[in-house]
Chains A and B, each alone.
Chain A
């Protein structure tokens, strides 16, 4: 622990949330000063509606979907719940035999807990598909699971990129398998949009989740992009503002900020990935030089197409992740143990457990996630701190 207050914060938790980009902040604050319910018929209402629709078009263009396919939500969790539950309900209504929900063991809790709720409350048959030691979905297991009884599958949900270890999933294979049987596919692309190329139409998925605060936009706004042909029952009932599948007065300022952020993130995606990927590779390489038994979890750094460019998920044998986090925090370096918290009680990561790590391995990990404000100096700071920090954390465990 250093007694002196850290002079500068080294923020390496962009996968948790990333700072707003100036354009998004400007767009949002500009509209916060105005008035107008996008559902009102007068001039102020029409103006707000125009902002919302222009935002929708901006996002549609960035993701290569139709504007009418963008359903604004309060964020990623709501969009995931809407997709998983809403599609399940519609599909089961269409044919009561469709009660199976297939997803991976490494999904975010927004999907995992939603499908488990379906299992508990709606008698859905939930099947969690296995992943390999890099957290990549076992496509053959998915094939076998679907083909056992294709007619009973209501929906398949597979994340585009894993939030903890950064592994990209074989979405095209998933879509191809599901398409053979006309099964809709949802993907949680919260970590992917703006970091790797995401083309909604080309991907063939039926529904895709994204959220503002992971790509330089505001908190509390996101979207479910969902094909017009896919029927989704609403989760939230009311005015029916969004295609009658999502109700609630639209948050015009947040939507404007969200759209500005999506536009920029997608526009700069390739150069961002190159710059951040290089810094990430350097961080991993130099950390392993300092701590030789540290190791990367998830997909290897090369080829770049298997892993999010900003994700460095590292295991430090003999350390508690919590200790590492606390010691780095005291030095102004902010990262994550990548574990889910309830009341701040750390549980071993379900992602790492699904990858075959034991509870001990799952606890000695740290996630550094780089983003648009990350600099060379941030990487240098981690490399400088990590040796003594790991030594301390090991001492604390003896």
Chain B
């Protein structure tokens, strides 16, 4: 096959490209330039988006012995990922930009262009496994390395996208990948993993949002209100600095009456009110998802599991499809579920699909 390997400059995508080449595919490496001004994105060789990372990717391609190019996706990335991220926070939700990037950039803009140019597939360093099922459909399963599994952020891929994807690392552990990178002479073998959002330079999400939202921020501050008493406990500098379930950084002078910690229960962007209360009031037993994406066949009803945030735990759940919405009933309550995040539904290790969390039903109202 003719394979386009997306190379971030990290160890995973480098080994993925090397494995694809070794498997006999005709591989071309590309690095995605996602910022018009690379210096403005995260500095230091920790992930993607910097000049150093572009050079690391190029040197990996040299060692593997494949052609290498840089593709400028900065405009698409800005429109589809960064702007979406801003709009979601402005609306009081908590988006996952990595998911959006996979859906709109890596497996859409890049894949479409690759197919147009005569490639058959895009290979990435994501940890997920693809297998062809008895029905001929390509199934995506969790990676062998449970700690590194990235099937959650790939839950937005449909069958068409999966058919043209390669994830050569799904059967390996991260340790094996690092060892293999060293054995292959790839200089990125010991490069640290990336964790933060690539376009938030210093990891200060709230500061970045404050600067970028500017006048578009729904509010520049408001009250932090006790869910029980209605008492104003403090002030904040903008609702976009909060996410449902957040405990740290509330800076409330006094503890709750019973001494237990308080969590963000609700964010009201129009009034600017952030409501806080005890953890048990975060418990959710049902959620409603919009914009469902299905990896293969579309279920009407499914008893499986659902994952509600990256690297989050699995919850047993029953999914019921209702047109272009989904209803997910959790068999035991989940805590800190933020609208805007993705609910990715699994049947065993297989990813069934995903939806964006629009609303949640709490177990205990006040």
Contacts and interface: CB of A to CB of B under 8 A. Distances in A.
A1 B70 contact: no
B263 to A, nearest CB: 42
Contact of B54 (A329, A345, A393): A345
A398 interface: yes
Interface residues of A, number: 22
A396 B2 contact: no
Contact of B69 (A3, A326, A343): A326
A393 B116 CA distance: 7
B27 to A, nearest CB: 10
Contacts of A397: 113, 116
A323 B118 contact: no
Given A1-B2, A396-B113, A344 B70 contact: yes
Contacts of B71: 322
B116 A343 contact: no
Contacts of B38: 342-343, 345
Contacts of B36: 345, 347
Given A397-B113, A398-B116, A1 B72 contact: no
Interface in A343-398: 343-347, 392-393, 395-398
Interface string A27-48: 0000000000000000000000
Per DSSP, are chain A's interface residues mostly helix, strand or loop, or mixed?
helix
A392 B74 CA distance: 22
B106 interface: no
B51 A322 contact: no
B28 A344 contact: no
A3 B2 CA distance: 8
Contacts of A396: 112-117
B26 A346 contact: no
Contact of A343 (B28, B51, B115, B119): B51
B67 A346 contact: no
A392 B118 CA distance: 7
A383 B251 CA distance: 69
A246 B66 CA distance: 42
Contacts of A3: 2, 26
A1 B117 CA distance: 7
Interface in A304-358: 322-323, 325-327, 329-330, 341-347
| Residue from B28, B55, B58, B116 whose CB has the most chain A CB atoms within 10 Å | B116
B31 interface: yes
Contact of B119 (A1, A345, A347, A398): A1
Given A396-B116, A396-B117, A345 B69 contact: no
A352 to B, nearest CB: 16
B33 interface: yes
Contacts of A345: 33, 36, 38, 54, 70, 72, 74
A175 B36 CA distance: 38
Interface in B67-125: 67, 69-72, 74, 112-119
A103 to B, nearest CB: 24
Given A395-B116, A397-B113, A397-B116, A343 B72 contact: no
Interface string B224-251: 0000000000000000000000000000
B116 A1 contact: no
A24 to B, nearest CB: 28
Contacts of B117: 1, 323, 326-327, 392-393, 395-396
A343 B74 CA distance: 14
Contacts of A343: 33, 38, 51, 54-55, 70
Contacts of A329: 67
Interface string A213-224: 000000000000
Nearest to B117: A396
Contacts of B118: 1, 327, 392
Interface string A88-106: 0000000000000000000
Nearest to B55: A343
A330 B71 CA distance: 16
Contacts of B114: 396
A326 B71 CA distance: 10
A343 to B, nearest CB: 4
A325 B70 CA distance: 12
Contacts of B67: 326, 329-330
Nearest to A339: B72
| Residue from A326, A341, A345 whose CB has the most chain B CB atoms within 10 Å | A345
A392 B51 CA distance: 29
Nearest to B75: A359
Interface string B20-58: 000000101001010010100000000000010011001
B229 to A, nearest CB: 54
B1 to A, nearest CB: 10
Nearest to B2: A1
B45 to A, nearest CB: 12
B31 to A, nearest CB: 7
15 contacts: A1-B2, A1-B28, A1-B117, A3-B26, A327-B118, A342-B51, A343-B51, A343-B54, A344-B70, A345-B72, A345-B74, A392-B116, A392-B117, A396-B113, A398-B116
Given A323-B116, A344-B31, A396-B113, 8 more contacts: A322-B69, A322-B71, A325-B69, A329-B67, A342-B51, A343-B54, A344-B33, A393-B117
Interface of B: 2, 26, 28, 31, 33, 36, 38, 51, 54-55, 58, 67, 69-72, 74, 112-119
Which 9 pairs show the lowest CB-CB distances between chains A and B? A396-B116, A344-B70, A343-B51, A395-B116, A345-B33, A396-B117, A343-B54, A396-B113, A1-B118
